[in-house]
């Protein structure tokens, strides 16, 4: 197949007429992309009246998501986390906006039985969840040989498996009502790898696969009214990677929250933030592996992660 494509490309580039043809194909694809964006924008969903459950909402991106959903008029916001004091303070911030009811629950999402029990309690107290945002996450940092087995297991339980348990719990009622949205906060480290965080990278690559498969499954079953969005942010200035040197393209948690809500409203399947990070996908899939490695060396990203791990 690759050989065939190379021959097609070579043949296309042999004459000016063919280059012109290639130009029109690219132009057509770009117009198609813009039209899809415009159509999606026209069919914008609203989040007002929705009941939103956010995991890892006690701080960082999760806290900003809660405040942003409230600003966009969500009816009820359910916060999950383990730190009760912080959850209660976010609840107050949400209520001060004056648009949404807010509840919080202590739940360790790394514990499957706790997730199932807490979802049941939420459904009894609050009702059906119509938007689920799987955001909770942890990172430890260290080479594979340095990382303790229980830390590796924790990373995969919290960052990946929890998405299975929460999604399995809320999906049946979304399918029954023919309405709903599941959002997963993955990472650009689910698209390319850096050294020193292999368990974290594995958990995020898995999430990208999970949401791609879930979206395909729902589409094949004809459930087009239940949306799936996988968000892949780059470095974000929260506690989680605070020891990583701030990058020229670092995001604020507020930016991630705003873009996530925009993606829900316009039903986008995958969001890569900041947009310049789309280049890493092109680098990885179209060019030899050494190109990506060189970009990481030249930009200092490889060294930055070493420093991050050394501080843990
Ligand atoms: N910061 C970054 O550079 C990036 C982060 N991300 C992802 O975004 C998400 C949010 O990260 P960010 O806000 O930066 O991180 P923070 O460390 O600021 O917040 C993490 C949140 O997850 C919660 N959490 C952690 N472990 C558990 C657990 N076992 N059970 C329940 N809640 C838990 C914490 O709550 P509590 O302590 O109350 O339990 C906290 O609310 C994560 O999935 C992360 O991987 C993606 C790309 C970049
Ligand atoms: C690859 C790459 C960069 C570095 C990216 C980094 C360092 C990302 C870190 C992401 C994190 C910490 C995600 C957490 O989930 C630069 C320097 C922006 C330049 C463009 C290519």
- Residue 155 Cβ < 6 Å to ligand 1: no
Measured by CA distance, the residue closest to atom 19 of ligand 2 is 299
Ligand 1 centroid from CA 59, angstroms: 8
Which pLDDT tens digit goes with each residue over 119-142? 999 999 999 999 999 999 999 999
Give me the pLDDT at residue 251, please. Answer: 96
- Residue 52 Cβ < 6 Å to ligand 1: no
Q: Yes or no: say if 180 and 53 are a contact pair by the CB < 8 Å rule.
A: no
Ligand 1 centroid from CA 188, angstroms: 15
CATH for 45-310, among 3.40.50.720, 3.40.190.10, 3.10.580.10, 1.10.340.30? 3.40.50.720
Which pLDDT tens digit goes with each residue over 145-181? 999 999 999 999 999 999 999 999 999 999 999 999 9
Give CA–CA dist 9/174, Å, rounded. 45
The atom number, within ligand 1, closest to the CA of 83 reads 38
Give CA–CA dist 144/206, Å, rounded. 18
Give CA–CA dist 73/122, Å, rounded. 20
Residues in the chain: 312
Give CA–CA dist 59/164, Å, rounded. 22
Measured by CA distance, the residue closest to atom 45 of ligand 1 is 137
ipTM of this predicted complex?
A: 0.98
The vertex-207 CA angle with 202 and 213, nearest 5°, equals: 130
Does the annotation count 104 as an active-site position?
no
Ligand 2 centroid from CA 301, angstroms: 6
| From 104, 200, 211, 297, active-site residue | 200
Give me the pLDDT at residue 280, please. Answer: 86
The pLDDT-based confidence of 245 (bands split at 50, 70, 90) is confident
Closest CA to 260 of 246, 248, 270, 250: 270
H/E segment holding residue 51: strand 51-54
Ligand closest in space to the Cα of 306: 2
Give me the pLDDT at residue 225, please. Answer: 95
Question: Of the residues 57, 60, 139, which should be mutated to test ligand 1's pocket, given the most ligand atoms within 8 Å of the CB?
Answer: 60
Ligand 1 centroid from CA 10, angstroms: 48
pTM for the predicted model, two decimal places: 0.90
Which residue carries 């490889």 as its tokens?
Answer: 302
Classify residue 110 as exposed, middle or buried by CB count within 10 Å of its CB (0-12, 13-18, 19+): buried
Measured by CA distance, the residue closest to atom 2 of ligand 2 is 296
What torsion do the CA atoms of 69, 75, 80, 83 make, to the nearest 10 degrees?
80
Q: Please give the average per-residue pLDDT across 62-78, as a whole number.
A: 98
Helix axes 2-13, 16-42, angle to 10 degrees: 110
* E strand segments, 203-252: 226-233
């Amino acid at each position: 197949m690759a050989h065939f494509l190379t021959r097609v490309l070579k043949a296309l580039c042999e004459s000016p007429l063919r280059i012109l043809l290639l130009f029109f194909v690219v132009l057509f694809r770009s117009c198609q992309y813009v039209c899809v964006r415009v159509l999606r924008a026209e069919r914008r969903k609203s989040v007002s009246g929705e009941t939103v459950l956010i995991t890892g909402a006690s701080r960082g991106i999760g806290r900003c998501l809660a405040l942003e959903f409230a600003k966009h008029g969500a009816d009820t916001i359910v916060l999950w986390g383990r730190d009760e004091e912080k959850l209660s303070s976010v609840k107050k911030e949400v209520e001060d906006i004056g648009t949404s009811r807010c509840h919080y629950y202590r739940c360790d999402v790394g514990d499957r039985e706790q997730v199932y029990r807490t979802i049941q309690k939420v459904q009894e107290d609050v009702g059906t969840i119509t938007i689920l945002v799987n955001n909770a996450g942890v990172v430890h940092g260290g080479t594979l040989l340095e990382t303790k087995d229980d830390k590796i297991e924790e990373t995969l339980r919290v960052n990946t498996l929890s998405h299975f348990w929460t999604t399995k719990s809320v999906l049946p009622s979304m399918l029954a009502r023919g309405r709903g949205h599941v959002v997963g906060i993955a990472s650009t480290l689910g698209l390319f790898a850096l050294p020193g965080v292999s368990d974290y990278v594995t958990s995020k690559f898995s999430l990208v696969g999970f949401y791609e498969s879930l979206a395909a499954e729902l589409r094949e079953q004809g459930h087009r009214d239940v949306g799936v969005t996988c968000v892949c942010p780059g470095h974000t200035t929260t506690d989680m990677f605070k020891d990583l040197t701030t990058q020229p393209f670092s995001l604020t948690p507020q930016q991630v929250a705003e873009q996530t809500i925009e993606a829900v409203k316009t039903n986008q399947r995958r969001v890569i933030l900041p947009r310049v990070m789309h280049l890493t996908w092109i680098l990885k899939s179209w060019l030899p592996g050494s190109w990506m490695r060189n970009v990481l060396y030249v930009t200092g990203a490889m060294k930055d992660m070493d420093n991050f791990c050394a501080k843990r």
